[in-house]
Amino acid sequence: MKFFRLIWKNVFRKKTRMVLTTGSIVLVLVLIVVLVSLLNAMEADPSGGRGANRLVVQHATGLASFLPLSQRQRIEQIPGVVAVSPEIWFGGVYKDDRPENFFGQLSADPQIFFDKIFDDAMIDPAANAEWKATRNGFVAGQNLVTKFGWKKGDHVQLRGTYIPVTLDLIYIGKYRAGDESNIFFHNEYLNQSKWFGANRVTGIYYMKVASTQDLPRVAAAIDRMFENSDAPTKTMTEKQFQAQFMEMMGNIKGLIRWISLVILFAVTLIVANTVAMSARERVTEISVMRVLGFRRSHVLSFILSESVLMSLLGGLVGVVLAKFVIIPGMVKGMQTTPMAPFLINFRVTWQVLLAAFGISVGVGVLAGFVPAIRSSQLRIVDGLRQVV
Amino acid sequence: MAIPLKYNLRNLMVRKVSTGMTVFVICLVVTVFLFVLSLWSGVTRTLSTNASDRNVVTMRVGSQAEMQSVVTRDSADLIRSLPGIERDAGGQPLVSAELLTLVNIPKADGKSTNVQVRGTSSAGMALRPSIRMVEGQMFRPGTNEAIVSKVLPSRIAGVSIGDTLKSGSYRWKIVGYFDASGSAYDSEIWTDVADLQAQSKRPIYSIVYVRATDAESARRYIEAVKGDQRLKLEGKTEKKYFEEQMVTGAPIKVLAILVGVFTAIGASFGAMNTMYAQVSARIREIGTLRAIGFSRRSVLVSFVVEALLLCLIGGILGTALAFVLFNLVITKPTGTMNFRTFSEILFNFRLTPPLVLGGLAFSLAMGFIGGFFPAARAARLKITTALREI
């Protein structure tokens, strides 16, 4: 530690170089924080892990097929089932066709929805009661409300795509949860429109069982019950249900991971190159230090510490800038791009920031390693003889 | 007078390690940039390949995808009598009423995906001349036979000729492969429309696909559909329909720009570092150059050119790396989700000439940013101080 001042001075010896190197670390870290947070937002587990005892029942052939509503009662009778809500993905168009206005629109049974099934979502009890009583009312995730600036009593029109009706909904209140990209409205209101499946079919059943141990048994019981019916089912945990969308984007996910790795490697090279250049310019100086009695291990730790210190500074600035300046600005700027639907659940968690900071230290160590060893291996006579 | 290019080249050669590392960084950055861009262009190309403006998709007003639409049998019959439709040798209008559905089936890697199933007829094939059978035979009506795109078996389990594909209560016997030359149809399973209606218990159609005699009559047909109050349908050329599906690729483009901008600035900082080091290591050299008569401008140009060279080499290597990657490593088609249909579309990475040029321009931009400021410093040096430097 007594050499800290020396290392510090050496880091700032060439200001331009230092600024440029930390600058590239900052940029890469910000980019990685954005990419990783984007992945997390896509993967958002709506329950944040707490809704482990929820199941989703869909048609065995996939989401394009409807399930008969008559199945609800039979599912409810299975022991261990707490509550079942039919849900329909409306998939309507809000305002215009542009992708940035896309969000999840689901119908549900309000009498049990927040009380018994989606019970880890936080909703004001008064708002929940009002929603139950308002046939054409809807509740929306906090982030979605912020994005569109909805106020209580606002009318929202959704033009149906595969269900050929237009819904005129009234905003009642917001809920908070891991996934805040959806709105929920009454099944009854949708049925009132007399669409072709009204009161006859649903898209999925969203349901809750008493305990985690019941999950496999109940899921198997449901699928067995309807196996030979007109509408065979596929019952999954909520997590598996979400995962099927992620699996389809599987390549994108892997791609982002690869991109992150490659650019990390690239920035390590940039830092390594900088450290090597600065060590090369100081060959004479290093030899003089050795003559004065500093050991090889001293030289090694000086150069390595320099690299780590520089990366650390970059990491610190990068993390702070990412969290407070660049990412908030970027998220705002991208609200009008096709990326917007992915940003609804976009959060920069401290875990990600911490990991990014850790990565910056790793970059410093990796980058400083080779130049540090090379400088420490230098023979004093060669170093003194060399004209730089 | 300009300083010879050879001077820059030899300088780059002398500092092998430093040059090599910088070149490598640029190379990686260019590869990543091309990778993301070609992902976007792959999706776009799939959705625009062979899309014709003579073929018209007739679907329900407001539907964003074929699968979301419903066309009744009566409407389908009415459509046959509308103007603008080409007729075959027997005088029959070239019309294919089709039903679409989505099945969730396992992929070759054990995960599952949604694939679009198109119930059609021999007319559907005749209307799309770019699609042809390459192996096996066409499905026969009334047998629940199906044909799949020839690229599908590499990605989806159990869809080779002879397999029976099961999903829920659906059963299809795969009897042939078709080749849709890389268009969106290459992600689909085709079967007989009446069979699909029976299996799905939906006695309706999703869309009616029509071939017009030419682009002008396609417009006439679209007008006729719009004007017919009984139908409540709208017509779109196949080209327009797929253009609208391209929103699916748009987030990837934003991602490409994001990654591109950040890495480019980061890498040009790296290049700038290298060039600054070059300038300070060569101060006496610069002084000498100025002393023997080269102007400030020549020095400036020379150093910018050196940085451009440095990055261009990286750019060329990066493009080559991307080329090798797309042609030798990633040979199978890749898939991503079409958010309009919730089904998977398959596409190939391919390096198109505009992408190659884009990658090279990208590397030159990094070179210019990275070279200009160090070059300006070099050019500003006073001859006397530069020569005095040890």
The DSSP string of A236-276 is EEHHHHHHHHHHHTHHHHHHHHHHHHHHHHHHHHHHHHHHH
Residue among B17, B102, B266 whose CB faces A64 most closely = B102
Give the pLDDT score at B295: 92
Pairing relationship of beta strands B164-167 and B188-192 according to DSSP bridges: unpaired
Give the pLDDT score at A51: 59
Amino acid letter, B258: L
**SS3 assignment, position A148:** helix
Best CA proximity match to B284, nearest among B156, B169, B384, B387? B387
Chain B residues within an 8 Å CB radius of A277: 18, 273-274, 277
Question: For chain A, what percentages of helix, strand and coil (3-state, to nearest 5) are there?
Answer: 55, 15, 25
Give the pLDDT score at B341: 76
> What are the angstrom distances between the C-alpha of B85 and each of A280, B73, B82, B135, B218?
77, 18, 7, 31, 8
Question: Nearest-CA distance from A6 to chain B in Å?
Answer: 22
- Is B202 near chain A, with CB under 8 Å? no
> Which whole number is the average pLDDT over B232-251?
86
Q: How many residues does chain B have?
A: 390
Residue among B28, B101, B265 whose CB faces A262 most closely = B28
Q: Where are the domains of chain A?
A: 4-44+249-385, 61-231
Chain B residues within an 8 Å CB radius of A337: 250, 254
Higher per-residue pLDDT: B284 or A333 = B284
Give the pLDDT score at A388: 53
Could you tell me if B139 and B175 are in contact, meaning their C-beta atoms sit under 8 angstroms apart? yes
Q: Do A99 and B339 touch (CB under 8 A)?
A: yes
- Is A136 near chain B, with CB under 8 Å? no
Question: Nearest-CA distance from A300 to chain B in Å?
Answer: 20
pLDDT tens-digit map of A197-215: 889 999 999 999 998 889 9
Give the pLDDT score at B2: 83
Chain A residues within an 8 Å CB radius of B39: 255
- Is A279 near chain B, with CB under 8 Å? no
Those of residues 205-264 in B touching chain A at CB distance below 8 A are: 244, 247, 250-255, 258-259, 262-263
Q: How many residues does chain A have?
A: 388
Give the pLDDT score at A250: 61
Those of residues 91-120 in B touching chain A at CB distance below 8 A are: 101-104, 107, 111-114
Give the pLDDT score at A252: 72
- Is B16 near chain A, with CB under 8 Å? no
pLDDT tens-digit map of B38-56: 888 888 888 888 888 899 9
CA-to-CA distance for B63 and A65, rounded, in angstroms? 17
DSSP string spanning B328-367? II--S-EEEEETTTTEEEEE-----HHHHHHHHHHHHHHH
Contacts of A293 (CB under 8 A, 6+ apart): none
Question: Nearest-CA distance from A285 to chain B in Å?
Answer: 15
Give the pLDDT score at A44: 61
Sign, Cα dihedral of B142, B143, B147, B152:
positive
Question: Nearest-CA distance from A233 to chain B in Å?
Answer: 8
Predicted-complex ipTM score = 0.81
**SS3 assignment, position A89:** strand
Strands (E) located in chain A? 54-59, 67-68, 81-89, 93-94, 104-108, 122-123, 137-141, 155-159, 166-176, 182-186, 201-202, 204-209, 233-237
Give the pLDDT score at B336: 78
Task: Among A20, A165, A360, pick the best mutation site for testing chain B contact (most B Cβ within 10 A).
Answer: A20
Give the pLDDT score at A218: 95
Residues of chain B with pLDDT > 90, as a percent, come to: 53
- Is B339 near chain A, with CB under 8 Å? yes
Pairing relationship of beta strands B132-136 and B170-179 according to DSSP bridges: antiparallel
Amino acid letter, B91: G
Give the pLDDT score at A79: 93
Please state, rounded to an integer, the average pLDDT across all residues of chain B: 90
CA-to-CA distance for B319 and B271, rounded, in angstroms? 18
Task: Among A33, A58, A226, A270, pick the best mutation site for testing chain B contact (most B Cβ within 10 A).
Answer: A270
φ, ψ for residue B61, nearest 5 deg: -55, 130
| Interhelix angle B296-324/B5-14, nearest 10 degrees | 60
Q: Do B18 and A276 touch (CB under 8 A)?
A: yes
Could you tell me if B318 and B31 are in contact, meaning their C-beta atoms sit under 8 angstroms apart? yes
- Is B200 near chain A, with CB under 8 Å? yes
Give the pLDDT score at A269: 93
pLDDT tens-digit map of B93-126: 999 999 999 888 888 888 888 899 999 998 999 8
Does pLDDT of B1 surpass 80?
Answer: no
List beta partners, residue A155. A170
* Angular region, A55: left φ>0, alpha ψ -120 to 50, beta rest: beta
> What are the angstrom distances between the C-alpha of A161 and each of A91, B60, B71, B225, B235?
6, 9, 14, 19, 15
Least confident window among A93-97, A303-307, B163-167, B298-302: A93-97
Claim: this prediction has a pTM higher than 0.80: yes
Give the pLDDT score at A1: 65
Q: Do A338 and B259 touch (CB under 8 A)?
A: no
Does pLDDT of B320 surpass 70?
Answer: yes
Contacts of B133 (CB under 8 A, 6+ apart): B147, B176, B177, B178, B179
Give the pLDDT score at B58: 95
Give the pLDDT score at B181: 87
Does pLDDT of B374 surpass 90?
Answer: yes
Q: Do B267 and A255 touch (CB under 8 A)?
A: no
Give the pLDDT score at A45: 58
Tell me which residues of chain A have a pLDDT lower than 50: none
Best CA proximity match to B95, nearest among B230, B197, B235, B279? B235
End-to-end C-alpha distance for chain B, whole angstroms: 27
Amino acid letter, A107: S
Residues of chain B with pLDDT > 70, as a percent, come to: 100
> Which whole number is the average pLDDT over B196-200?
92
CA-to-CA distance for B334 and A37, rounded, in angstroms? 24
Q: E strand or H helix at A146, and its extent? A: helix A142-148
